[in-house]
Amino acid sequence: MQQRFHRRVQDCVMAAATPHRRPPPPLLDRACALFLDVDGTLLEFASRPDLVALPHGALETLGRISDRLDGAVALVSGRPLRELDALFAPLRLPAAGLHGQQFRGVDAPDERTADDDALFTLRREASLLVERHPGIVVEDKGANLALHWRAAPEAEVALRALAERHLPQLTGYRLQPGDHVIELVPAGVDKGRAVLTLMAEPPFAGRTPVFVGDDLTDEFGFAAADAAGGWSVLVGTREPSCARYALRDPSAVHHWLRRNAAREQGHA
């Protein structure tokens, strides 16, 4: 079933190959459930994943929207939950970490992880590449491994080749390309499945899902939200994309969120 869903997402992206102008999303109503990617959506990108911070007032805005939607606001991220908790403290929203391997707020099945020896070998070879390309970041997420080349663009080919070469030894895994990153994740995990898992539980059940994200990993979330009669919102100008709406950048996302928070007080 998961493979069929992945094929549907790929077909959707290919069908949307012609760039087109997407309108900004409407404001949320009280029947919505809001799902937010983090990096590239709420956070600007940095040379390393640990060199980021939320804009002033963002936590208060998110908290007000969560109150308005009776708690139906969730983070859906490639980061582990511990990093999300540190970034958003003291606010603790429902969340799906590691693309949906980790959940807070719902009961979800544990995902199979790769053989420790195979991951260790991959980490060791990636560290050797770091010596040749100091800008590479090897982000060890435990069961997942992300290889970043934002600060070392010349290393992209080598990192992609490294990931592809090790994939056959990582049984049950797939490659997840992203913005200046490639990640090895369990094959049955993606942000669309994360959204569907959250939507099966209160306070999300029965609401209209709204998924906001920027990266290729977020296409699964777009497809899941659209299939459930909701909205998909692309951050940026990446093409192709299945998204129906768009916001220019994280600053535009926060402006839209502030308008939604102000709506509760009659200021929108």
The two tokens of residue 69 are 């939607």
Residue of 11, 29, 37, 226 with catalytic role: 37
| C-alpha to C-alpha distance for 47 and 20, rounded to whole angstroms | 30
| C-alpha to C-alpha distance for 54 and 244, rounded to whole angstroms | 26
- According to DSSP, the β-strands at 145-148 and 102-104 are unpaired
Sign of the CA dihedral running 167, 103, 4, 235 = negative
The two tokens of residue 128 are 């050797």
Sign of the CA dihedral running 238, 21, 211, 41 = positive
Amino acid at 246: A
Helix (H) or strand (E) holding 211: strand 208-213
Please confirm, yes or no, whether 110 is among the known catalytic residues.
no
Contact 227, 253 (CB under 8 A): no
Phi, then psi, of 235 in degrees rounded to 5: -100, 120
How many helices (H) and strands (E) would you count in the chain? 8, 11
Contact 173, 185 (CB under 8 A): yes
What is the rounded radius of gyration, in angstroms, for the C-alpha atoms of the chain? 18
Contact 224, 196 (CB under 8 A): yes
- Hey, which residues are catalytic here? 37
